[in-house]
Amino acid sequence: MILPTVTADTRLIHQGRPLIDVRAPVEFAKGALPGAVNLPLMMDDERHRVGIAYQQQGQEAAIGLGNELVSGTVKEARVAAWRDYIARHPDAVIYCFRGGLRSQIVQQWLADTGLVRPRIEGGWKALRQGLLGRIDEAAQQPLLAVAGLTGCAKTVLINRLTNGIDLEGFAQHKGSAFGRSPEPPPCQIDFEHRLAQRLLMLTGPLVVEDESRQIGEVNVPLSFWRAMERAPRLRVEMPLDWRLEQLQRDYILDLEQAYQVLYGPEIGCQRMREQLSNALWRLKKRLGNARLQRLQRLQSLAFREHERGNPQAHEAWLAPLLTEYYDPMYRYHLARQRDAGVQEYHVGDWESCLAAARHWSREKGELLI
């Protein structure tokens, strides 16, 4: 029986096709295809032993050991898991690293039970190349970058746009020392795949936030980041009080709620405090000892007031952190962009910038037709 295949076409990702990743969990953790579920042929220790057999004795010995390790009730349980998933997702497709032996074995075992599903030609590797190619293609599309001082709700603006690319959302990090998420960050490969999956939906003008290349634990792919560097800027300008209210929501209240959902009220609040205090400590070299100690005192007082039901007290350390550290740093960054000849498309308040981004998108979209 000839086992069916499908080409490694990114439309599989764009269409949200259910994918069964039969690689070992350690491989899956290093980066998977979007929407894939890990139902491995071999677990990590089994794969390790088979790999040693392959290196020392060749392919035939490795296959023999694999069949020995995954046999009997172990094999029955894994076939049952694949069948159960396919029963719930009848159009599922199978893949391994290169679309070779492992996915073929899974196909054959399923076919032996009367269930035939295709595998991806070239497997994970081939489809990943297609996703990376989409990112490189997107670097040639019209691009607008949303800039502005910390607290100007640039990410909120991005997410109001149908063509917005939320890089911080894909990275699960808000981009500053205080931007860590309670959830573990994605690996570099998963970040790239999330970005590519979003780009598959957008063939016209794109709007991103003005970011540094590194966002938390991951890096924006070089071709796309260079396009971001060249992109015209849309600069949001909002007063300090407005920005502090935004930061209060993003970095205090939302962060506290996220931690409490994961760990409960008491431990969640404790972890939120630890994250904010550690973030401040990491700025020691840039702030200097005297300024750091002053902000730490203000932060400690704010935590006490927060426990008493007054989270507004955090403004006491957030305001000087903005005006004395983040704002001067951003203005220096802005001056360097101007010196490099980066165009400013529009400067204004949040609402006018949202309208300008939509106007730019319509205008550029019409030019592409």
- Residues catalogued as catalytic: 96
Q: Is 167 in contact with 215 (CB distance < 8 Å)?
A: yes
DSSP H stretches of helix in the chain: 11-14, 25-29, 44-57, 59-69, 72-88, 101-112, 123-138, 154-159, 167-171, 188-199, 222-230, 240-247, 254-263, 265-281, 284-287, 289-307, 315-321, 327-339, 350-368
Residue closest to 141 by CA, chosen among 193, 206, 230, 233: 206
Task: Read off the amino acid at residue 344.
Answer: E
Considering only CA atoms, which of 217, 220, 221 is closest in space to residue 186?
217
For the chain, the residue count is: 369
**Helix H or strand E segment including 212:** none
Q: For the chain, how big is the Rg over CA atoms in Å?
A: 25
For residue 143, list its beta bridge partners: 206
